[in-house]
Amino acid sequence: MGGLIYVLFGISVVFNGLGVIALIRFPDVYTRLHGATKCTTFGSIFTALGIIAYGFARGGAAHETLAIHTIVALVALLVTNPTGSHAIARAAHRSGVKPKGAVVDRLEGRS
């Protein structure tokens, strides 16, 4: 059980780091949103899974409560994160930021 938790934490740290690197390296706001949203959501899911596994493996009322509350936090994160990124992307396009080097832009001219 301990090994599984270490692996889950390892995956979460790697993917959160990848998301931040994508945030720094990509050229414009839309591609940055790609990296930041996907990777940090995936990484945080694994953090939460690690804590859930820890809580149920430790046992006892206090640790099970911890695991259940973490499940609720995971659901909140999973619902709010993509919706927030959608809002930022739409706001960016409406405030006039063009996708850099875009091959095609079907949203051009609509508002």
**Which structure tokens are listed for 6?**
């270490």
Restricted to residues 48-67, the positions that interact with another protein (CB under 8 A) are 48, 51, 54-55, 57-58, 61-66
Residue 46 C-beta: closest distance to another protein, Å: 9
| Distance, CA of 58 to CA of 31 (rounded, Å) | 41
| Burial environment of residue 47 by CB neighbours within 10 A (0 to 12, 13 to 18, 19 or more) | buried
Question: Judged by CB under 8 A, does residue 43 bind another protein?
Answer: yes
Q: How far is the CB of 101 from another protein (least distance, A)?
A: 6
CA contacts within 13 A on the Cβ side of 5: 12
Residues 1-30 within binding reach of another protein (CB under 8 A): 1-2, 5-6, 9, 12-13, 15-30
Q: Is residue 100 a contact residue for another protein (CB under 8 A)?
A: yes
Give me the least distance between CB of 11 and another protein, in Å please: 10
Which of left, alpha, beta for 90 (phi over 0: left; psi -120 to 50: alpha)?
alpha
Q: For residue 109, state whether it binds another protein (rule: CB under 8 A).
A: no
